Structure 1
Amino acid sequence: MITESSAEVEFHGGRARTGHLTWGQQGTWDGLEHWLPEVKPFFFLTRWLPVPLLLELGDVLDVVGELLRRHESLRTHFHVSPSGDVTQEVLGSGVLRVDVHDRPADDPVQFGDIVTTCWQRGTATPFDHARELPIRLSVALHEGIPVLVVFALSHMAADYTGTEVLVTEMAALFKARADGSPPPSPRPSLQPVDLASSERSPDGQLLNVEAMRRLRAELERMPPATPARAEPASPRFVGADLDSRALPVAVRLAARRCRTTTSVVMLAIATALVRCFCPGPLHRLDVMQSNRVTPELMGSVTTLNQAVRTVVDLRADSFADLLRQAERTMADARARSRYDTRAAREVVRAWGGVLEPGTQFNDMWSTVPKSRATTTEMDTSTSELTWPATSDAEDMVLYLDTRGTADRMQLVLMADTAVLAREEIGGFLLAFERVAVLLATEDVPLARVGELFAESRVEPLTG
């Protein structure tokens, strides 16, 4: 039988201070508040990593304490004033409770099941940000020896890239301790309170003014709602994931052949597929931006991503036209991706107050460290399509995310079944992969994209 207990991580020596929220934190906070008390998957970021042999539980707790000392976002409380303003309080010292699961040698439970159980517990309830640190952590032991660390982060503490930064640093600290070598120095990173101060400076306010100017221009182009094509299913929104080793190779080769970036290639493919079922001529598009444009921001464990509201033109004569449009869209999104989210909300309210649902494109994969591998093999036979999620309500017609590792991509789509039928959701992802593979070596006519979409319809096995 697995023995469950708890341990404590003590952290001390850090700065204790309070400050305003960053623009990214404010947008995340408002997103959480919009959906509460319903709990959405985006509230959390979950990860696990192995613990090297020879380390004891005390070593693991010491490493976690060092991470809490280095990254203020992990030891922060958030407080709401009577007027609704939110401030962050960084603790200089404190204690983090850690769940410990010790599996005896003869227990049949697999460690994969323990990870799943820890994630389920860590994401079952929203964080109490005023009283709880924004990380829930568990350590799995085998006969008293640490094997795995499992955690769930609040989105207020980190975004996808920030979580990867944390995992990489934790792994390096574990390795150094196992090797008996000095811990690696912290990467240069900007702490959230400091970033919030810079955003309120004259230079930061100029960024916001320009972003609001461009937002007003985009709002004047906003199209009407995407019309329904079918009676929606119940639950109305269905999600599918495509796990592919072919996609990383294909989009890199396509980007090189087309002399552009992987983000541009994937946005162009997505636009080509949206043309297959959206009448156009215009379609609302939100482009998520990671905003990690300096070394100090690349190393920050915080939430920096912000959505840039724009419009995509579905009228095109060739895939090359879509690539050029995607280049302009991504460049414009980068130029205005840092802004005061509540100021943007007021701009939208003054314009008319209601934005019709469209597509959100969130390319997280392109920010992961690149592989040195030179393989050009694009084998789609090992790609796996799963149906992990359903939802009764969302704010967009389509959510398209990319994430994964340098050598493996997860292409994730959550779609409104009133616009995209259940069998077309998986078809969208499979067609995306097929278009990317073709684009790696040749130009793809838009008519061929439509054929691939029609051929790729697949009935979900579950959900």
Structure 2
Amino acid sequence: MAEFVRHRIPFEGRRAVTAPATCAQRHIWKLMQSQLPDAAFYDVCYWTALPGHGTVQDLLDVLAELFRRHESLRTGFRWDADGGLFQQVVDSGEFVAEVWSLHRDEDPDSVLRAWRSRMRHTPFESARAPLIRFLVTVVDGAPVLAGFCVSHLVADLTSLRLLADEVPRLLDARVAGRSLPPAVPSRQPVEQARLEHSPRGRALLARARTYWERQLASAPATLLPPRDGADGADGVDGADRAHGVDGQAVPVRYSAVMDSRAVGLAVPVLARRWRVSTSAVLLTVVAKLLGRRAGLPTCALRLLSANRSDPELRATIGNLHTEVIVTIGLEGDRIEDVARRAFAACTTAYANALHDPDDVAELIASAHGPGVPVDLSYCFNDVREAHALPDAAEGRGRAPDDAALLRAAMADTVVAPGEFEEGETFFLVIDDEDPGWIRLVLNAERRALTPSEVHGFLYEVERSLVEYAGAAERIGEEEAGGVGSQATVA
């Protein structure tokens, strides 16, 4: 039977320093306050498989090395009497690692799932660094998996991916007796805060404010207003929504997961044909469906941005995540024209993703006049690592754009209830953990979309992509034969 020992491991760093919080840290802090008392809502878990060599001590030493390299892992947060948020980097302390020893016939994934569940209900104290905990699973004395649970204040998803790549490399070097590979030069969060308070940083924030003002001026007031008589859950009417039926509470939101091979095949076909990124393809279809449901010619969404276009931030471990509005015009006969507008709009949005969250909150609150806010509770989050426009030759030779193949792939699609939850009216996540497949996870408020409508929306995204890809294939064949043509999908 699996057993664990909780280790408390000392760490050291190069300096102790206090600085104002960055814009991204303040953004997440505001989101966390809105979820209280469930402070663990914005804690993030991630994990990486290890090659199964070395000792537990080797891995614990590697984890301690992470603290020396990355100041965010040694950072806590405090606020002054005026409500200002500060980041406080310590130069020493200790971290916690649970080391689980398993027999060969035991499942490491079950240990990971149980640990993640406990972490989900074990909030950090924001003022006490470090805001990260570790899981280590061991088989035959060698570590085979390292898990991270971290407050979103100190690390975003990109940071966790970087850590997941760094740990095995450091462990390999330590086990082989080589010098540890040096840390990639990167800007620490304290220096990011200083940049934001510099003349250059203030100019960037002023530019972003102007961008938000323009976007909000053309954004619709809302997309999916709550329906007074709508079902809180399928079969539960509005009068029973708050308390459910027979005393059983009905959740406010519902989540579903679609795993689709057809979407994975269709998206690169359309990206090549429309000359946009694969992310813009997905965003275009989602925006069209939301706009159609709302009966509006525009759609305003929040995009989640990693904010790493600056070379000095590419390897930064910290929270650089922000959210930025994009307003997409949906009118026009040709879907590729809408997609290209969406692609251009997203490029501009990401260029203005660094903003002052307090300024933006004020703008949103009075976007259409004093006390008349815009509802931006609609989020699109493509967490795939590769969004680029595919190479023109990619996929040729195996006919991924064959319409019959795409339709056949739809038979493999699975849609099921999910556990993902966000505090928004509509929150869609795109992922690609399995090669060749794309996963869409949609969490929506039941008063805006009932559970059956959530499932229907996901199926409609897939159907639209397959039909657009079939139209793109027909156009390609006609152009190859010298026949000019245009095609649209309703």
Band of TM-score, shorter chain: 0.7 to 0.9
Alpha-carbon spacing, 1:424–1:366, altered in 2? closer, same or farther (3 Å)? farther
Within the alignment, does 1:148 sit opposite 2:177 as a pair?
no
Contact preservation (8 Å) 2:258, 2:413: yes
Contact preservation (8 Å) 1:16, 1:91: yes
| Higher mean C-alpha deviation, range 350-359 or range 83-92 | 350-359
**Which of 378, 388, 393 is the matching residue for 1:359?**
378
Please state how far the C-alpha of 1:338 moved relative to its aligned partner. 1.0
2-structure distance, mates of 1:386, 1:166:
31
Please state how far the C-alpha of 1:20 moved relative to its aligned partner. 1.2
Alpha-carbon spacing, 1:257–1:441, altered in 2? closer, same or farther (3 Å)? farther
**Which of 352, 356, 361 is the matching residue for 1:340?**
356
Q: Which residue of 1 aligns with 2:64?
A: 65
Superposition pairs of residues 47-66 of structure 1, within 5 angstroms: 47-66=46-65
1-structure distance, mates of 2:30, 2:54:
41
TM-score scaled by structure 1?
Answer: 0.87
Q: Which residue of 1 aligns with 2:423?
A: 394
Unaligned runs of 5+ in 2: 234-249, 401-405, 474-485
Which structure is larger by alpha-carbon Rg, 1 or 2?
Answer: 2
Please state how far the C-alpha of 1:36 moved relative to its aligned partner. 0.9
Q: Which residue of 2 aligns with 1:458?
A: none
Q: Which residue of 1 aligns with 2:127?
A: 130
Alpha-carbon spacing, 1:271–1:370, altered in 2? closer, same or farther (3 Å)? closer
Q: Secondary structure at the match of 1:365?
A: coil
1-structure distance, mates of 2:336, 2:27:
34
Please state how far the C-alpha of 1:189 moved relative to its aligned partner. 1.7
1-structure distance, mates of 2:126, 2:432:
28
Q: Which residue of 2 aligns with 1:420?
A: 449
**Which of 225, 228, 242 is the matching residue for 1:227?**
225
1-structure distance, mates of 2:317, 2:327:
31
2-structure distance, mates of 1:427, 1:171:
42
1-structure distance, mates of 2:387, 2:121:
28
2-structure distance, mates of 1:432, 1:12:
50
Alpha-carbon spacing, 1:447–1:272, altered in 2? closer, same or farther (3 Å)? farther
Which AA in structure 2 matches 1:303? Answer: N
Q: Secondary structure at the match of 1:275?
A: helix
Alpha-carbon spacing, 1:14–1:241, altered in 2? closer, same or farther (3 Å)? farther
Please state how far the C-alpha of 1:415 moved relative to its aligned partner. 1.3
| Higher mean C-alpha deviation, range 367-376 or range 227-236 | 367-376
Deviations 1:218-245 (A, max 9, x none): 2323323333453222323111122345
Q: Which residue of 1 aligns with 2:236?
A: none
Please state how far the C-alpha of 1:293 moved relative to its aligned partner. 0.3
Within the alignment, does 1:118 sit opposite 2:115 as a pair?
yes
Q: Secondary structure at the match of 2:461?
A: helix
Alpha-carbon spacing, 1:51–1:370, altered in 2? closer, same or farther (3 Å)? farther
2-structure distance, mates of 1:244, 1:94:
46
Alpha-carbon spacing, 1:162–1:35, altered in 2? closer, same or farther (3 Å)? same
Deviations 1:398-451 (A, max 9, x none): 1112234483533221112222231221232233234334444633999846xx
TM-score scaled by structure 2?
Answer: 0.82
Within the alignment, does 1:212 sit opposite 2:231 as a pair?
no
Q: Which residue of 1 aligns with 2:481?
A: none
2-structure distance, mates of 1:11, 1:366:
31
**Which of 239, 247, 255 is the matching residue for 1:239?**
255
Which AA in structure 2 matches 1:289? Answer: S
Which AA in structure 2 matches 1:409? Answer: I
Q: Secondary structure at the match of 1:238?
A: strand
1-structure distance, mates of 2:375, 2:285:
22
2-structure distance, mates of 1:31, 1:89:
20
Please state how far the C-alpha of 1:387 moved relative to its aligned partner. 1.8
Q: Secondary structure at the match of 1:128?
A: coil
Which AA in structure 2 matches 1:96? Answer: F
2-structure distance, mates of 1:390, 1:54:
34
Q: Which residue of 2 aligns with 1:385?
A: 415
Contact preservation (8 Å) 1:52, 1:178: no
Please state how far the C-alpha of 1:358 moved relative to its aligned partner. 4.2
| Higher mean C-alpha deviation, range 45-54 or range 29-38 | 45-54
1-structure distance, mates of 2:283, 2:29:
27
Which AA in structure 2 matches 1:183? Answer: L
**Which of 450, 461, 470 is the matching residue for 1:432?**
461
Please state how far the C-alpha of 1:205 moved relative to its aligned partner. 0.5
Contact preservation (8 Å) 2:270, 2:472: no
Contact preservation (8 Å) 1:248, 1:406: no
Q: Which residue of 2 aligns with 1:193?
A: 190
Give the number of equivalent residue pairs. Answer: 444
Please state how far the C-alpha of 1:28 moved relative to its aligned partner. 0.6
2-structure distance, mates of 1:349, 1:282:
20
Q: Secondary structure at the match of 2:299?
A: strand
Superposition pairs of residues 11-30 of structure 1, within 5 angstroms: 11-30=11-30
Deviations 1:261-315 (A, max 9, x none): 1222111111122134222234332122221102321211112121112433343
Q: Which residue of 1 aligns with 2:240?
A: none
2-structure distance, mates of 1:78, 1:308:
24
Unaligned runs of 5+ in 1: 450-463
Please state how far the C-alpha of 1:59 moved relative to its aligned partner. 0.6
Alpha-carbon spacing, 1:265–1:197, altered in 2? closer, same or farther (3 Å)? same
**Percent identity for Structure 1 against Structure 2:** 30
Superposition pairs of residues 150-165 of structure 1, within 5 angstroms: 150-165=147-162
Q: Which residue of 1 aligns with 2:480?
A: none
**Which of 270, 274, 283 is the matching residue for 1:254?**
270
Alpha-carbon spacing, 1:427–1:135, altered in 2? closer, same or farther (3 Å)? same
Please state how far the C-alpha of 1:179 moved relative to its aligned partner. 4.2
Please state how far the C-alpha of 1:164 moved relative to its aligned partner. 1.0
Which AA in structure 1 matches 2:29? Answer: W
1-structure distance, mates of 2:487, 2:323:
28
Q: Secondary structure at the match of 1:400?
A: strand
Q: Which residue of 2 aligns with 1:305?
A: 321
Contact preservation (8 Å) 2:7, 2:97: yes
